[in-house]
Amino acid sequence: MPHSLNLINTIAAALGLALVLGFLATRVRLPALVGYLLAGVVIGPYTPGFVADAAMASQLAEIGVMLLMFGVGLHFSLGDLLAVRKIAVPGAVVQIIVATALGMAVASWWGWSLGGALVFGIALSVASTVVLLRALETLGILDTYTGRIAVGWLVVEDLAMVLVLVLLPPLSGVLGGNAAAATSVSIW
């Protein structure tokens, strides 16, 4: 069985440095996530020393996102979402619309195109589900009614972003992008 030394080096460096910097972050009373982010910066291409294979790290990051979303699914059920739907669904929709509009206004003020402003606004409109889940879990309020509302809100945001990710490439020509390039991109 052939082994990829590049893969092993990238995983070992990323996990090892994340462990050390995550531990150091918690020692100075910061979230471990700060250490993990710092580990990514340290082994990234913009700092001296060991540089992880960026293409390999990107593929591993996609797997990581899938596992994180799997973890979100383990914490939440359709029944929980339906129980908080009267607050979570309208709240998430209004929050996405308002944050997107404000982000688009700022980007337009900077002179960005309509498409660029829309993508910027959408990027600002969503929260990190995994970070909030971890914070709720740490505070011990994940299983409370408020925690279920927060998670439901985030699940609605995530579902809306799936729809956005499906619709943006076909609409890229209308929004000022390159429609041919957007539709030819493949994750495989």
CA distance 117 to 105: 8
115-145 tens-digit pLDDT: 889 989 998 888 777 778 878 888 888 888 8
CA distance 8 to 100: 40
8-33 tens-digit pLDDT: 888 888 889 999 999 999 999 988 88
This prediction's pTM: 0.67
- So where are the chain's domains? 1-52, 75-184
**Tokens of residue 14, six digits:** 């990323």
37-72 tens-digit pLDDT: 899 888 888 888 777 777 887 888 788 777 777 777
Tell me how long the chain is: 188
